[in-house]
């Protein structure tokens, strides 16, 4: 049976009228949703329907009516699922900081390991980083070979120009990867959420190591100086992948914090543009920089001083793939504290 959250009835203030309800039961169960393609589709649940959809006509919208709903039902539908996700992902196998092109390609590779629980933390409302466009607000995305093999795996069309390929719009690449990642049952994206700090522990087996992150909603993080103290939340993990991009307002968050707490020395920062050197250097430099924390994407250039690459995206995709492989190795070899266990599904059933 799927895990469920029970919500029990609570007393209402005196004088407040009871809203109309559809059921006399005091307890509602939130269960796993049924995929809309489970019935009436020729393929398996969630797979593409083979026949082309019928063309819409104006007449089908005549007297169009939505099913009735109460406003409270909408609120409960959102909040119950979100807070269950926060409960479930308070302890992860992998946390990915940053959902740009490197972070998303890392997450995509981890969809192939449904046994791993993966959380993505993205400060923006819209994940994808700078990969929604090519260079200087142009549409096309350039990917140097052999990184085009990643596009082939995702069935993304491109024009072959010999040593590189061109996708007609960068958003096609980003939206395709994002759709695959969001559909995976083992991955949760927490967007509009910041990684404000790291959880750092020290023991005999691993020494000083990263053991998770400290989170807050982005709008809270942006207003710490305008309000009274607004404490954060936390998420534990076996390994953190930092893909926070090059230096900027929220960029290079991971390496900046390691330098602040003296787990890493000062680094040279990203060098001037050289595409031919940059992409090889970023993939080569993708590594576990400190125990429990892997760096990929343009944040690698901040650490190594590698050149920036500008509007060519192959290294971002491949660096993310390499980070996923490193993360899987880290999880397999993980030696956690004695007695550390993840709460069981039964334990996650609780009353509001």
What's 241's DSSP letter? E
pLDDT at 340 over 50: no
Q: At 10, is the pLDDT very low, low, confident or very high (cuts 50, 70, 90)?
A: very low
- The pLDDT of 341-349, averaged and rounded, is 44
Q: What b/e sequence results for 271-307 when a residue is b if at least 16 CB atoms lie within 10 Å of its CB, and e otherwise? A: beeebeebbebbbebbebbbbbbbbbbbbbbbbbebb
Mean pLDDT, range 216-222, rounded to an integer: 89
pLDDT class for 42, splitting at 50, 70, 90? Answer: very low
Q: Which is higher by pLDDT, 255 or 1?
A: 255
User: pLDDT at residue 19 above 80?
Assistant: no
**Angle at which helices 275-285 and 314-332 cross, to 10°:** 10
Please determine, for residue 214, whether its predicted confidence score (pLDDT) is greater than 90: yes
The predicted pLDDT at position 161 comes to 98
Q: How far apart are CA 37 and CA 325, in angstroms?
A: 32
Does pLDDT of 315 surpass 50? yes
Mutual orientation of helices 170-183 and 101-110 as an angle, nearest 10°?
Answer: 40
The pLDDT > 70 percentage for the chain reads 81
pLDDT at 150 over 50: yes
Looking at residue 50, its pLDDT comes to 55
343, pLDDT greater than 60: no
Question: In this predicted structure, what is the pLDDT of residue 4?
Answer: 38
List the single range of 130-139, 148-157, 242-251 with lowest mean pLDDT. 242-251
Q: Is 6 within 8 Å of 27 (Cβ atoms)?
A: yes
Tens digit of pLDDT for each residue in 320-335? Answer: 999 999 999 999 999 8
Q: Is the pLDDT of residue 39 over 70?
A: no
**Mean pLDDT lowest for which of 182-186, 223-227, 280-284, 319-323?**
223-227
pLDDT of residue 225: 84
Q: Is the pLDDT of residue 30 over 60?
A: no
Cite the DSSP H helix spans in 203-341. 218-221, 253-260, 275-285, 299-304, 314-332
Give the residue-averaged pLDDT of 147-173.
Answer: 98
Q: State the Cα–Cα distance between residues 232 and 117, nearest whole angstrom.
A: 22
Summarize the confidence of residues 115-137 as an average pLDDT. 96
| Edge-to-edge strand list for the sheet holding 159-160 | 141-144, 164-167, 159-160
């Amino acid at each position: 049976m799927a895990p469920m959250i029970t919500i029990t009835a609570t007393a209402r203030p005196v004088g407040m009228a009871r809203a109309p309800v559809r059921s006399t039961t005091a307890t509602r169960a939130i269960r796993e949703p049924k995929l809309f393609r489970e019935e009436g589709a020729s393929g398996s649940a969630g797979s593409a329907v083979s026949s082309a959809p019928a063309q819409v006509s104006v007449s089908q919208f005549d007297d169009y009516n939505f099913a009735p709903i109460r406003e409270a039902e909408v609120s409960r539908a959102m909040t119950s699922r979100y807070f269950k996700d926060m409960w479930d992902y308070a302890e992860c196998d992998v946390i990915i900081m940053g959902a740009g092109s490197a972070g998303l390609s890392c997450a995509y590779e981890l969809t192939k390991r449904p046994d791993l629980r993966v959380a993505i933390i993205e400060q923006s409302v819209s994940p994808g980083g700078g990969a929604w466009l090519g260079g200087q607000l142009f549409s096309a995305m350039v990917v140097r070979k052999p990184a085009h093999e990643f596009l082939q795996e995702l069935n993304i069309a491109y024009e072959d120009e010999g040593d590189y390929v061109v996708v007609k719009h960068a958003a096609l690449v980003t939206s395709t990867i994002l759709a695959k990642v969001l559909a995976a049952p083992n991955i949760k994206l927490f967007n509009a959420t910041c990684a404000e700090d790291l959880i750092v522990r020290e023991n005999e087996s691993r020494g000083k190591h990263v053991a998770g992150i400290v989170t807050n909603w982005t709008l809270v993080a942006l207003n710490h100086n305008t309000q009274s103290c607004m404490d954060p939340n936390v998420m534990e993990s076996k390994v953190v992948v930092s893909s926070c991009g090059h230096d900027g307002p929220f960029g290079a968050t991971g390496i900046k914090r390691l330098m602040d707490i003296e787990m890493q020395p000062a680094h040279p920062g990203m060098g001037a543009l050289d595409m031919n050197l940059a992409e090889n250097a970023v993939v080569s430099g993708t590594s576990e920089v400190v125990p429990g924390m892997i760096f990929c994407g343009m944040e690698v250039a901040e650490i190594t001083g590698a050149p920036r690459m500008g509007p060519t995206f192959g290294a971002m995709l491949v660096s993310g793939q390499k980070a996923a492989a490193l993360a899987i190795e880290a999880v397999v070899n993980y030696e956690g504290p004695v007695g550390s266990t993840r709460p069981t599904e039964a334990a996650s059933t609780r009353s509001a």
